[in-house]
Amino acid sequence: MHIHLIFFFFFQTQKTALCSKSGCSSVPQDLPDNIEELHLNHNYIETLQDYSLSRYTSLRTLSCADNRLEILGSKVFQNSPQLESLNLAANKLHISYQQSSLALATVSRLKVLDLSENQLTDEMVTILLQNLTSLEYLNLSRNVMQRLDETSFNGLHQLRELDLQRNILFEIDHAFDHLYKLQRLNLAYNYLSCLVDFHMTQLVVLNASHNAIEWFIANQDIQETFQLETLDLTDNNIFFFPFLPTHSRLRNLHLSQNTVSFYEHLADNASYPSWTTSVQFYNLKGNVSNVTAQLWDESLHGHISSLEVLDLSVNQVGYFPQGFISKMPNLARLRMQTNCLKVLNLTQEKLPSTLYELDVSNNMLEEVHADQDHLRELANLSYLNLSQNYLQSLPSRLFSSLTSLSSVDISFNRIGICLLQDIGRTRRKVGPWSDQSDCLVWRNINSLKHLHLSGCNLGKVPWSAFIGTPLTHLELSNNPELIIEPRSVAELSRTLHYLGLGNTGLRDFDFSSFKHLKSLNIARNSLTQLPASLLTLELRLLDLRENKLTTVPSGQARKLALKLKTVFLSGNTFNCCQLDWYRMFEKAEAMNIMDLSDISCQDRTKRTHRVVLLDSLICDGSEEESVYWYILLVLVPVLCLFGISAIFVLTFRPRLLPKTIKKKCWKPTSY
């Protein structure tokens, strides 16, 4: 065994021994005495025997993750006074935790301990951690802890980071109160139902995502500034905006995948006369004082003025309470994807000038309003996603006023591109608002790089529609009525890298001037052959799915195989007997056919085969089908001629018949 091991040893200046994945079942004893780091991960060690580390008195770091460890000998660390970091993840320490706790009690200098994935319950953890008063980092993720109380981490006064994700925690009762130095706490993927009376002022990152939390309520009486910078409550059951600390440094608030909504409209007691004007929050334990709050009371939101990222995507937000957004003067990213917004009045919301990303895609927006002065203030807005709404018009100067705009997505709304005759009239009055236009002008927006106009019911794209706009990425897919000529996008020939023309009824298109095009989507277009101009490009990605291709001629295939890195081809009905292209693509090492297993072909009897599973005998070897047709075409007249002459001969030379029949059919038989 040791001979085997030595092969894997490799010393660096820090005196590290790497013996991971070397098949050992005990600590190797033939390493230099002065090693400081020992890595024994992914081996078969079941016991860390007493004295097995005694030789290595300088050891600072021991990593023994993913073994079969059941027991730590109680004297194993006795001669390791320097040991600071111990990784015992993915073992079976639950089996003899009491015995093992005696070993851990002797390394009270330990700063870093990883006990993740050891099937530990809360009682086991309490016992294992008894004397580890110097711990700064503790990983208990992927265990089976259910509840925590003030005894759980007793004495861990130095703890800075605690990872408890992926346990089955449903209750936490003052477990962290004495962890005054704790800065990062991960409670993700547990079964917690609320976080109330949150008062950990020193905590910087709290991750409570993927639980069943209904309430997040910070202790509002604490006037001290909370150090909290990141709060992750993603994927819970929160339906009120969390009641954040009164003073904090909160910068990132992740609330996506909850059921958050605002209830300010209920305060309008003229419209909702029968509604009570306050709500009581019953503490689950029933004996702590109940909180009574006015639903629309702004102060409940707590301190949000330092927020930079607010992620409310996938919630139930129908509107922002008055003044809500203007309370966040530093906001850079506002993610409202998949909510219930119906109207967005940018002027009224007073979005801050720091705003960089605004995603309001997949809402129910019918109206977006903005006056030009306010738009000019949004000088940092670079990414705007309005896709999947019910918009039929937009403020006509929306995009030309946003000076940093680099990516716009208005896919799946019904907004066209203005034709030449519309362009003079910049204000096309639509509905009651004078500044709205049902078509957009995409000229001279010199910051814009990415434009997505998929599914916008586009018809004719006028000539030079994008002049002065240096697009690199243009998505026009899913506009089945699209009429586009190379002249419409001619100005983009020097900048365009990606062009999406999938499902646009494309017949042919001269791509030859788009020298910089790297990716092209022409899927779902009923193409029976590839546009010849494609071969002149330096394409890397080509999407040809769901067309009517039966083959790719060898000449084209050879050229494409040299250039393409990624290709999509499924949904075409290829001819099983004309798959030379497939063999070329397969051989091309740099090329990746992404949907290989879905590509099918039809044989001569119209049966469908998966190209990858194709039996090469289906076409009788490698001969092309056309050869057979030629042979058949020649054979039929020849046979006819032959028949006619035979009949002629037989009719007019009847005496020949018996001889012929005799010769051919009656073999001489001997009776």
Ligand X SMILES: *[C@@H]1O[C@H](CO)[C@@H](O)[C@H](O)[C@H]1NC(C)=O
CA neighbor of 254 nearest in space, from 245, 267, 242: 242
3-state helix, strand, coil in the chain (%, to 5): 20, 20, 60
Query: Distances in Å between the alpha carbon of 609 and those of 108, 584, 604?
Result: 67, 19, 11
How far apart are the C-alpha atoms of 504 and 522, rounded to whole Å? 8
- How many Cβ atoms are within 10 Å of 330's Cβ, its own excluded? 13
Does position 207 interact with ligand X (CB under 6 A)? The reply is yes
Shortest distance, position 594 Cβ to ligand X, whole Å? 19
Among 142, 397, 524, 545, binds ligand X (CB under 6 A): 142
Does position 380 interact with ligand X (CB under 6 A)? The reply is yes
Of 15 and 210, the one with the shorter C-beta distance to ligand X is: 210
Shortest distance, position 615 Cβ to ligand X, whole Å? 41
* DSSP character at residue 261: B
- Asked if 53 and 33 count as a contact pair (C-beta separation under 8 A), the reply is no
Does position 347 interact with ligand X (CB under 6 A)? The reply is yes
CA angle 589, 594, 595 (to 5 degrees): 130
SS (H, E, C) 6-60: HCCCCCCCCCEEECCCCCCCCCCCCCCCCCCEEECCCCCCCEECCCCCCCCCCCC
Site for ligand X in 60-89 (CB under 6 A): 89
Among 452, 497, 524, 545, binds ligand X (CB under 6 A): 452
Among 188, 192, 307, 577, binds ligand X (CB under 6 A): 188
Query: Site map for ligand X, 318-337, x if CB under 6 A?
Result: --------------x----x
Site for ligand X in 422-451 (CB under 6 A): 433
Among 100, 190, 363, 385, binds ligand X (CB under 6 A): 385
- DSSP 3-state of 394: strand
Among 296, 356, 463, 498, binds ligand X (CB under 6 A): 356
Site for ligand X in 250-279 (CB under 6 A): 254, 269-270, 277
Shortest distance, position 195 Cβ to ligand X, whole Å? 14
Among 152, 388, 437, 600, binds ligand X (CB under 6 A): 388
In degrees and rounded to multiples of 5, residue 431 shows phi and psi of: 65, -155
How far apart are the C-alpha atoms of 576 and 669, rounded to whole Å? 50
Does position 362 interact with ligand X (CB under 6 A)? The reply is yes
Shortest distance, position 342 Cβ to ligand X, whole Å? 12
Of 15 and 166, the one with the shorter C-beta distance to ligand X is: 166
Does position 203 interact with ligand X (CB under 6 A)? The reply is no
How far apart are the C-alpha atoms of 156 and 617, rounded to whole Å? 72
Contacting range for ligand X; rule: CB under 6 A; set: 47-55, 282-290, 295-303, 615-623: 282-290
Shortest distance, position 11 Cβ to ligand X, whole Å? 26
CA neighbor of 532 nearest in space, from 496, 563, 562, 507: 507
How far apart are the C-alpha atoms of 557 and 541, rounded to whole Å? 14
Does position 472 interact with ligand X (CB under 6 A)? The reply is no
Of 270 and 627, the one with the shorter C-beta distance to ligand X is: 270
Among 51, 180, 272, 282, binds ligand X (CB under 6 A): 282
Beta bridge partners of 599: none
Contacts of 653 (CB under 8 A, 6+ apart): none
* DSSP character at residue 321: P
Instruction: Tell me the DSSP string of 93-161.
Output: TTTTHHHHHHHHHT-TT--EEE--SS---HHHHHHHTTT-TT-SEEE--SS---EEETTTTTT-TT--E
Shortest distance, position 479 Cβ to ligand X, whole Å? 16
Of 15 and 369, the one with the shorter C-beta distance to ligand X is: 369
Contacting range for ligand X; rule: CB under 6 A; set: 39-47, 134-142, 149-157, 581-589: 134-142
Among 116, 118, 248, 363, binds ligand X (CB under 6 A): 116
Among 39, 60, 369, 397, binds ligand X (CB under 6 A): 369
- The size of the interface with ligand X (CB under 6 A), counted in residues, is 45
Shortest distance, position 44 Cβ to ligand X, whole Å? 19
CA neighbor of 581 nearest in space, from 605, 555, 557: 557
- Asked if 360 and 389 count as a contact pair (C-beta separation under 8 A), the reply is yes
Of 100 and 209, the one with the shorter C-beta distance to ligand X is: 209
CA neighbor of 11 nearest in space, from 30, 626, 180: 30
Shortest distance, position 196 Cβ to ligand X, whole Å? 13
Place of tokens 């992750």: 232
Of 378 and 552, the one with the shorter C-beta distance to ligand X is: 378
C-alpha 522 chain-centroid distance: 24
> Token pair of 230, please?
């990141």
How far apart are the C-alpha atoms of 239 and 220, rounded to whole Å? 19
Shortest distance, position 105 Cβ to ligand X, whole Å? 4
Which residues in 266-293 are b (16+ Cβ under 10 Å) and which e? Answer: bbeeeeeeeeeeeeebebeeeeeeebeb
Place of tokens 């009788």: 620
Shortest distance, position 226 Cβ to ligand X, whole Å? 17
Shortest distance, position 278 Cβ to ligand X, whole Å? 8
Shortest distance, position 521 Cβ to ligand X, whole Å? 14
- Asked if 430 and 436 count as a contact pair (C-beta separation under 8 A), the reply is yes
Among 345, 495, 536, 570, binds ligand X (CB under 6 A): 345
Among 13, 271, 274, 289, binds ligand X (CB under 6 A): 289
Q: What is the CA radius of gyration of the chain?
A: 37
- Provide the residue type at 189 as one letter: Y
Contacting range for ligand X; rule: CB under 6 A; set: 103-111, 216-224, 542-550, 637-645: 103-111
Does position 497 interact with ligand X (CB under 6 A)? The reply is no
**Binding-site ranges for ligand X (CB under 6 A):** 89, 105-106, 108, 116-117, 131, 139, 141-142, 163, 165, 186, 188, 207, 209, 230, 232, 254, 269-270, 277, 282, 285, 287, 289-290, 332, 337, 345, 347-348, 354, 356, 361-362, 369, 380, 385, 387-388, 407, 409, 433, 452
